[in-house]
Amino acid sequence: MKHLIIVRHAKSSWADPGQRDFDRPLNGRGERNAPEMAGRLKARGLRPQLIVASGARRAHATAKLMAGVFGYAKADIEIVDALYEASPRVWLEQIRALPAGIDTVMMVGHNPEITALVAELCPEARIDNVPTCGVLCLDYEARDWAGIARAKPVSWDFDYPKKP
C-alpha cells in the first residue's frame, strides 16, 4: 500500500507587497495551521517517511512545521525547486520517481498546481480548490510509485483547517 499526502502550503503573508512571490513567508495563521494539520494526520496514524516540498519559502516552512509534529528531521526534507509553479505533469514525474521502498510520502506545493494535481489523481473527490494547508490523503494498492498516475486510489480523505 502506498500513501500519498498532498498538501497546499499554509497561509502566507502579503505584508510586503514588493516581496517576490517565491520568498513570501507564512503568516501567523499559517504557522498555527501547519502543525494542527500534521497533528490530525498523526492522530490517524499517518507519518510520512519522506517529505518533499517546493523550494518556495512558504512551502518549505509548512513542511518544516509539519515535520516537527512527526519528529521528522527538518534537515531531511527534500526541497525540489522545480515543483514551484510546476504543471501536474512535473508533479506526476516526481511522484513516479519516488523510491519503491518508501510507502508514505507527503508533498507540499502551491495552487493552482496542487488543485490541478488533485483533480487528475482523484477526480471523484470533486475538489475545485484546495485551500491553504488543505491536505488530501490518497491510498493506493501498489508496490511502487511508477503506476500511481494511472491508478485509482482505493480510498481518499480531504481535510483542511476550517473543515467543520
- State pLDDT tens for residues 115-135: 999 999 999 999 999 999 999
Residue 150 pLDDT level (bands cut at 50, 70, 90): confident
Residue 148 has pLDDT above 90, yes or no: no
Position 85, amino acid: E
Report, at the CATH architecture level, how domain 2-12+30-119+134-159 is classified: 3-Layer(aba) Sandwich (3.40)
Q: What is the pLDDT of residues 53-95, one digit of tens each?
A: 999 999 999 999 999 999 998 888 999 999 999 999 999 999 9
Question: Which pLDDT value is given to residue 157?
Answer: 97
Residue 17 has pLDDT above 90, yes or no: no
Strands 50-54 and 78-80: parallel
- How far is residue 158 CA from its own chain's centroid? 12
The count of residues in the chain is: 164
Angle subtended by helix axes 57-70 and 28-43, to nearest 10: 40
Question: Which pLDDT value is given to residue 24?
Answer: 95
- Asked if residues 37 and 158 have their Cβ atoms less than 8 Å apart, the reply is no
Question: Which pLDDT value is given to residue 75?
Answer: 81
Nearest to 132 by CA among 61, 42, 73: 61
Position 54, amino acid: S
Rounded CA-CA distance 53/9 in Å is 9
